Structure 1
């Protein structure tokens, strides 16, 4: 049940001006509901797993904390982060994502819609006016109760009238709604940035995986060439009577096995090429990437300090903005406890003849105000306020959980890079040992000391270790990309729209 109070405003200019001044003052009062404070989270002083040689760690603060990084962007990746890999082909592919990828476009349109919502809500702070002419021809009954012989029964009614209404934001409902819309817009902008970052990282990871397969293809082709020479040597030794048909069959089997592996790797390469073309929005029937083994140098990734991660990851920024929107929604719910006050006015000209239409005696106007207070709602406002508070707590918990997951993400990728670097060093020694073993086996076979089976075993072991080493190097590039993604790429919260 709502109770309505109506007030007739006197037609004196002084009283009207004073009333408007009081209303304007009240409309500027502090909005109801809690002001927002970012949910607390204390970042660790250092990263635990920052031991990989390709990670650049900032120097620690001197004793006593005499200095700290000057700005959040010091020692961090900038904008086009993929350029640290110095690969023109990758740069060209990455540049296409924000322009051509449909997922990015979808996220951008969602953000633009949220931006328009801010403008829509903000318009509620201002009065609404409408104006329009009207015309009607009227004929009255001669037998109406108050009819007189001299009363005209047919006449024109010409009307030019305007009206306005304004609901002053006394309690801050509109201002809190603007805060909700603005925070939602900023969250959508951060989500759009996160979509871009995710696709950029996926593009780079797929690209390096494909180039790693090119390295595998080069290795397998070189091995096929070596095995063809081995088969030729074995066949000549068979003709000379120093080898057997078994040796030739074993050499032929090993050759065909590696050729089959080469075909299999080529299939995987084609799949990565298709994935890259899809992300970059190419027509796949006309898209191809030239063969290029992964001979790049793994770049250093500037790590920054842990506290900067809160400003660098768009998913963290989105969660934090959603928490602010939920906090503002509490104020919107609380404002329902207060009366709704509306000012309205109308004015114009009315006449039965065009010649006297726009004249002083034809003028009409009215001013008024009304206040409506809800007296009984069976607990609805209380329930909605509690609901808004619980939703805020849920968003705050979601923000903290996003932060926890972000630090885990960084630590996981740092650990992976460090482990892969250690594993690569061990695997290089294994490749060297396998190569030495093959050289010795070849010498023993040519000298007639051993069978060709020993050569095949050594050849297979070498190829297995070479492929493992190539795979480790590829995984290092992919993990480097994932570390960049987990650090937020070149993004930071200063890029959020205001």
Structure 2
């Protein structure tokens, strides 16, 4: 029997078919999906009034330094951030998700290349005498068959479904990278804010303890004056009430202080209640001398959550292309070459090698509307991703606007609180002297003491707010751009 000559014509035809697929291949679906930001309200203009209190300059068009937390001038804070970056569990989880997404993107790219597989099989076979040739030697009923072959398969991506899957996988990798950046910025910002809040609560606890000592001193003075009949029992009782009120503030502050220490422990990767490294006090934290004021375009480019939303939108657009390509014809090429013989050494001897070349085209005809509905679902996901991107951009602008508004008012509040505290301290000093001389009433004493405690608390809170809103502005403009590869 003459074997048909498939060598030259078939190989030539398959090469031409592959060339046709490479030349005429096209991608379906949106290639670079965008969304008009003009659908959103106009980008607000950021106007900064001169800051009162410690000087802070706003750099229009500036960007935060990659290690922006060092601008607070605290080596203890720097050490805490370094520890959090090395041991925080949220960052470890985000890093694992990033590595997974990158490997999946690499796997998707590999799926578009020719697939080559090699195989070897050895069989020990005994034939049935009934089904064998009657003249066959009985010793030939038992024999060994060796088979080895190499198979090559290649799907021609004529309509870009494979390329769309690669784009989607790469976009998912970019989303994971941006989410890692967002997690990194969040961890650093939350840690800095927790350290600031802990320092603030520590200062408030000291102020509360000072107020308690002052009230005890004044109570002792009133009791002495009561003994000589200068004041009555009602005056002493009023001061006892004031002392108890001051003492009642302390447990709440201590509870909040312990909570912040537990939060710091979690952020640096240790169990709450564990011994913590050195922490800066409120006076050890300096306001950064200059703050970045990024332009709206830079905010969109640098905010990791906005970048993640943009990558999510591109990935959704690629998924639409994949869904469309699934409804179009698919072309595959495959070939195999091998040998088969009873002896291992004879598999590729004359007459034993075999080969095959196969080309196939498949066109979906009826899938109960499944493929069409999948395309519509992908298009709906793209619309949702576009809306998510617009929302992320607006949220970014809103965060910057809130932080700037806070900084504008914080400086004024801090200046007013500092003046009020100085006046209250001076007034309380005068009242103490008058009390010692017996020329002040209980009401004046109580008012001066309460005003002084409130002024100290307001000054601490105003300083804390300015430090916290400084962190909020840096976080709102995207933090320092790190060297994460995309």
Give the TM-score of the pair, scaled to structure 2: 0.88
| Aligned residue in 1 for 2:286 | 297
CA shift digits 1:81-135 (9 cap, x unpaired): 2111111121111112232121221122112111111121111112222222222
What is the distance in 1 between the residues matched to 2:396 and 2:42?
A: 13
**Does 1:50 find its partner at 2:48?**
yes
Matched residue SS, 2:37: coil
| Aligned residue in 1 for 2:144 | 156
Matched residue SS, 2:440: coil
| Aligned residue in 2 for 1:192 | 180
The partner residue of 1:90 within 52, 77, 94 is: 77
| Aligned residue in 2 for 1:62 | none
1:201-220 correspondence runs (5 A): 201-220=189-208
Contact conserved, 1:203 with 1:276, CA < 8 A, in 2? yes
| Aligned residue in 2 for 1:3 | none
| Aligned residue in 1 for 2:298 | 308
The partner residue of 1:276 within 257, 264, 268 is: 264
What is the distance in 2 between the residues matched to 1:85 and 1:77?
A: 13
What is the distance in 1 between the residues matched to 2:4 and 2:191?
A: 67
| Aligned residue in 1 for 2:127 | 140
The partner residue of 1:377 within 337, 346, 367 is: 367
1:385-464 correspondence runs (5 A): 385-464=375-454
Contact conserved, 1:9 with 1:369, CA < 8 A, in 2? no
CA deviation after TM superposition for structure 1 residue 355, in Å: 5.4
Contact conserved, 1:56 with 1:303, CA < 8 A, in 2? no
1:13-24 correspondence runs (5 A): 13=8, 16=11, 19-20=14-15, 22-24=17-19
| Aligned residue in 1 for 2:250 | 262
Deviates more, 1:431-440 or 1:397-406: 431-440
Contact conserved, 1:330 with 1:388, CA < 8 A, in 2? yes
Deviates more, 1:403-412 or 1:49-58: 49-58
| Aligned residue in 1 for 2:21 | 26
The partner residue of 1:366 within 345, 350, 356 is: 356
Contact conserved, 1:39 with 1:396, CA < 8 A, in 2? yes
CA shift digits 1:133-164 (9 cap, x unpaired): 222233434444x8352575444322222222
| Aligned residue in 2 for 1:348 | 338
Counterparts in 2 of 1:379 and 1:236: CA distance versus 1, 3 Å: closer
RMSD of aligned alpha carbons: 2.8
Contact conserved, 2:204 with 2:253, CA < 8 A, in 1? yes
What is the distance in 2 between the residues matched to 1:215 and 1:13?
A: 88
Structure 1 unmatched runs, 5+: 1-7, 60-68, 70-74
Deviates more, 1:395-404 or 1:225-234: 225-234
CA deviation after TM superposition for structure 1 residue 238, in Å: 4.2
**Does 1:38 find its partner at 2:24?**
no
Counterparts in 2 of 1:58 and 1:278: CA distance versus 1, 3 Å: closer
| Aligned residue in 2 for 1:180 | 168
Counterparts in 2 of 1:466 and 1:450: CA distance versus 1, 3 Å: same
What is the distance in 2 between the residues matched to 1:437 and 1:191?
A: 53
**Does 1:476 find its partner at 2:476?**
no
Contact conserved, 2:335 with 2:357, CA < 8 A, in 1? yes
Contact conserved, 1:129 with 1:164, CA < 8 A, in 2? yes
**Does 1:169 find its partner at 2:157?**
yes
What is the distance in 1 between the residues matched to 2:187 and 2:4?
A: 61
| Aligned residue in 2 for 1:124 | 111
Structure 2 unmatched runs, 5+: none
CA deviation after TM superposition for structure 1 residue 234, in Å: 3.5
Deviates more, 1:180-189 or 1:259-268: 259-268
Give the TM-score of the pair, scaled to structure 1: 0.86
Counterparts in 2 of 1:412 and 1:135: CA distance versus 1, 3 Å: same
